[in-house]
Amino acid sequence: MPRILLSHVTGNVNSRQAAWSLAEHGWLEAFHTTLAWEPPPALEKRLPRSLRETLGKRRLPSAVTGHVRSHPFWEVLRLMCRTLGKGSWLGMDQVAERFDQSVAADLQSREGVSAVYAYMDAARHTFEAARTRGVKTIYELPTPYWRVTREIIAREKQRHPDWAATLPEMHADSPKMRSRDAELALADVVIVPSAFVRDSLALAPEPPREIRVIPYGCPEPAPDRVAPPHHDPSKPLKLLYVGTLGQGKGLADLDACLRLLSFPVELTLIGSPQDGADCEALQAMLGRHRWLSGLSREQVMAEMRLHDLLLLPTHYEGMALVVGEALSCGLPVITTPQAGAEPLLGNQRGGFIVPEGDAGALAAQIGVLHEHRDMLASLRQSALVSAFENNWGLYRKKLGSLASTLFL
């Protein structure tokens, strides 16, 4: 029976599901992360709400808890620095480096491990240790390969120079990008969530030995997470955007789209700027619309139930988890091929996929739904069906099937 050591710095949604899948099959040797939150209920109730919500994101499935190995020191210090406004002193890159070294050291002390499963930016040291011991290396790349992303960023800076401050810098000779290429070169198998990410790897200096596509899942719809029937058709459509506030997610295109509409709409933006908080174009857009930040996942889902459409005109994404969350709320989605959401929205199920960077196409699709409000009710139902059929349980099953083939 294979014994797989899995690691992720923050224990995000997809890594928790991967750990759950391996645990269900009896293959999980250990799940390394920085913080795993399993407090006594009495203690949790006494904590401030904001702290409960932050730590609640680190809660793990019960099937995984017995396999957890935590490395909290540097992550706790990072969170403290961010809270005190000293975030530049210790960032996630430094935490990931130290975490990766700790996982590598743990691997060296274990016997009988069949494979290590690690994620982008925290895999190089672990994979180097695995290679010295003849252990298989499994690498999950959740976003497009960085050289493709860099090309998209350069193009978008030319298309919308007034939004350039919201786009990150990616230098080929930076330690971070060199480390990403090293991680890829050390991987025996690369797992990606979408065809877009798979195809982006064509630009890698060393093509991966094996690439497998396993789309992420949706939360199962629950009665209290389903959007209510559409509001009065005489009122404006209520549009929602959720994500990082910048042109990487297509905010300039969304802004241009709204200017093309000949009818009123109400837009809510949920998110925080990753870069370019001082971007005048971004600040002007935020000033024209309802803007919310610092919301918990439950609060975001509550907002989804109050809207008619989720708009995500993104330019680079692995597979946007927010699309699955919207579908599980019965909220239709309009996005681009770069969101990696075709498995969820194919054949106009639960929404539409429009060309990347085409504000006119996005406006035209919104216009169709404005004129034909009855389509929204149908889209809501198909969104729920898609969420049911593509839930996280299916993801765990597919990942388990893949893992079993690697050790036959």
What angle is formed at CA 222 by the lines to CA 216 and CA 225, rounded to 5 degrees?
Answer: 90
The domain spans of the chain are: 4-217+392-406, 223-389
pLDDT at residue 52, as a whole number: 56
pLDDT tens per residue, range 68-89: 898 888 787 887 776 666 656 6
CA-based nearest residue to 152, from 186, 106, 203: 203
CA-based nearest residue to 315, from 143, 142, 119: 143
pLDDT at residue 107, as a whole number: 95
47 CB-near residues (< 8 Å, 6+ apart):
39, 55
Q: Judge contact between 383 and 331, C-beta under 8 A.
A: yes
The region of weakest confidence among 82-86, 94-98, 282-286 is 82-86
Distance, CA of 293 to CA of 287 (rounded, Å): 14
CA-based nearest residue to 212, from 190, 244, 235: 190
- Residue 389, pLDDT > 60, answer yes
Q: Please indicate whether the domains covering 4-217+392-406 and 223-389 agree at the CATH topology level.
A: yes
Distance, CA of 207 to CA of 203 (rounded, Å): 8
Question: Which residues is 190 bridged to in the sheet?
Answer: 139, 211
- Residue 274, pLDDT > 80, answer no
Calculate the average pLDDT of the chain.
89
3-state SS, residue 187: coil
Question: What average pLDDT does the segment 90-107 reach?
Answer: 92
Question: What average pLDDT does the segment 16-27 reach?
Answer: 94
Q: Reading across the β-sheet that carries 115-119, which strands appear in turn?
A: 68-70, 28-33, 4-7, 115-119, 136-140, 189-192, 211-213
Residue pointed to by tokens 């106009």: 348
- Residue 255, pLDDT > 80, answer yes
Q: Judge contact between 215 and 323, C-beta under 8 A.
A: no
Question: What average pLDDT does the segment 198-216 reach?
Answer: 94
Question: What average pLDDT does the segment 213-228 reach?
Answer: 81
Q: At what angle are helices 92-108 and 73-83 packed, to 10 degrees?
A: 170
CB neighbourhood size of 77 (10 A): 15
CA-based nearest residue to 300, from 267, 328, 266, 270: 270
pLDDT at residue 48, as a whole number: 61
The region of weakest confidence among 145-149, 347-351, 376-380 is 347-351
CB neighbourhood size of 310 (10 A): 26
pLDDT at residue 298, as a whole number: 86
CB neighbourhood size of 41 (10 A): 6
pLDDT tens per residue, range 4-18: 999 999 989 999 999
**What percent of the chain has pLDDT above 90?**
70
Distance, CA of 150 to CA of 207 (rounded, Å): 18
Q: Among the residues of 222-320, which ranges form H helices?
A: 251-260, 280-288, 297-304
- Residue 206, pLDDT > 80, answer yes
Q: Does domain 223-389 have CATH number 3.40.50.2000?
A: yes
pLDDT at residue 357, as a whole number: 95
pLDDT at residue 271, as a whole number: 94
CB neighbourhood size of 38 (10 A): 12
Question: What average pLDDT does the segment 99-127 reach?
Answer: 96
Q: Judge contact between 4 and 114, C-beta under 8 A.
A: yes
Question: What is the 3-state secondary structure of 313-356?
Answer: CCCCCCCCHHHHHHHHCCCCEEECHHHCCHHHHHHHCCEEECCC
Distance, CA of 8 to CA of 374 (rounded, Å): 44
Question: Which residues is 154 bridged to in the sheet?
Answer: none
Looking at per-residue pLDDT, the higher value among 397 and 58 belongs to 397
**What percent of the chain has pLDDT above 70?**
88
- From the options 3.40.250.10, 3.40.50.2000, 1.10.1040.10, 3.40.630.30, give the CATH code of 4-217+392-406: 3.40.50.2000
pLDDT tens per residue, range 36-58: 766 555 555 555 665 556 666 66
pLDDT tens per residue, range 306-355: 999 999 999 999 999 999 999 999 999 999 999 999 989 876 689 999 99
